[in-house]
Structure 1
Amino acid sequence: MTNTPSSTTCPYCGDEFLLRSNKKFCSPSCRKLSAQQEQRKKQPVNAANSPTERRKQYEVYELASRMAETLYSMPPAQRLGYIEEIIQLARSGECPRVRQILTMPALIRPNPDKKYLFRRGCKSYCTISQAADRYCRSSPWNAGVAAVVRGEVPDPPTGEIVEEVAEAA
């Protein structure tokens, strides 16, 4: 008789599990993740290899460009209100694309050589994410747009008197 080990390690996560002759992974999720990892090595899912991803990426950058165009085409007195609206829209979760645009590092800190990110291809214009980031940093939030949109910072005080505070006084 040969002694066989009673446990073995999962090739994906490294956890030990009870040995069975027909079981290679510790769980179905590790088996699936391992298969996905192997598939992505053969054919990565990115804009260079996937028409679907290329289209999604195009739509996101196109929407960011249209939002920046809207911002810069309105009178300066109305711009802060527009930025506040899109930040609140992204914070609420109603529009995940706007949330994605405002939190995208490539638009918050864009490469100046990628002129397609800027309105009219001019670096003197901000991207919509940069404008929102500057607004958030100079507002009572005093934090970056990504933290504000994700809800990592509390809402600034509104100046309203709450009933509990009024009763205590």
Structure 2
Amino acid sequence: MLTFREATLADVPVLVPLIESAYRGDSSREGWTTEADLLEGQRTDPDGVAEVITAPKSALLTAWEDGVLVACCHVADENGSGYFGMFAVVPGMQGGGIGRATLAEAERFVRDEWGMGELRMKVINAREDLIAWYVRRGYRRTGEMTPFPYGDERFGLPLRDDLAFELLVKPLA
């Protein structure tokens, strides 16, 4: 059974490897959410995760199964709307409902704890399979694109020159 809680700074040592394993390198290829064919380099580091945990109007939600961290996601207040990002599920456990449950918890948290009426996220446009997964969960493609921050290694080292972020939005009833 999954249990959810907000991350603390004590969780940083287990959060960083989870996030890295879901996005980058060969371990990420065990799951279907890998960005390894799009980006190299690190996805985050201990300072970046600590910053998300301690920032005002921000929470890093964690999902645990039998005392083991299996997923996380970042939610924040972004100009009165909920923001969703840094979503990671243990690669070998993807496809079993943990991601769906974690996304639902993020939506509940933003709606019930913060009283916000929508959740927004930016997804790499080349990730059509991932965008389709979010659309099946009620997110709407806006067509609003933000350029990929080429040259900023905090976002990874791009392997393609056609990347951008598409804004997806879901009203929270």
Q: Rg bigger for which structure? A: 1
Same fold (TM over 0.5): no
Q: TM-score normalized by structure 2?
A: 0.25
Structure with bigger helix share is 1
Q: Which has the higher strand share?
A: 2
TM-score where L is the length of structure 1: 0.25
Higher RCO structure (Cα 8 Å, ≥6 apart): 2
